[in-house]
Amino acid sequence: MKTSRWVALAIVVVMYAADLSAGFDMQKVEYLSDSIAEKDGKYIRLLGGSSWLLSSPTLALVTNDVLIVFQEVELNDKKNVQIAVAYIAGNEVVAKHVDGHYVTQTGYLTTVVEALRDGAVLKLDDGTLLSIPQYDRFDTRWWLPPYKALLTGNRMYLWNLKNGKRVWVNPI
């Protein structure tokens, strides 16, 4: 029973991920940002002390950054379920909290749909424009939209969920 529910959630996340790539307005979510302290197959322990079981193994290394986003998805029977999706080294996998405490922050899932002026300005799918400081443009000039992103609640940082890199942003 537990395995079939785990597989069903993984399928929902894959279908949800396909919907995300099509674009949507910002979705308010809770997220956790940390780094891997220990890894064994599908099991990871984060530096903050929490432990997680992933739906599939990852090639991420110890010390790699991890972003775990908590979001609600609607199942076929119109029932909403909260799931945790881990973004690790460019992979998106369902995660289950196993042990330890963690602190979440508020952010917004979004999609970057366009990069302007060689990555100096990023346009989100809701029309928001974000200015990128000079020192982060080396990264953003190589990011090819569209890609999923997480804008922090204070709107100071943008995480590229495809590669796990965070940059400073300034709303225009």
Residue 141 in this model has a pLDDT that exceeds 90: yes
pLDDT band at 74 (very low <50, low <70, confident <90, very high): confident
> For the chain, what is the mean pLDDT?
88
Q: What is the pLDDT of residues 78-131, one digit of tens each?
A: 889 999 999 998 899 999 999 999 999 999 999 999 999 999 999 999 999 999
Q: Residue 72: exposed, middle, or buried by beta-carbon count in 10 A (0-12, 13-18, 19+)? A: exposed
Phi and psi for 56 in degrees, rounded to 5?
-150, 155
Alpha-carbon distance 122 to 17, whole Å? 21
Alpha-carbon distance 141 to 126, whole Å? 21
Q: Which of 64, 160, 66 is nearest to 109 (CA)?
A: 160
Segment 17-33 mean pLDDT? 71
Q: What is the pTM of this model?
A: 0.81
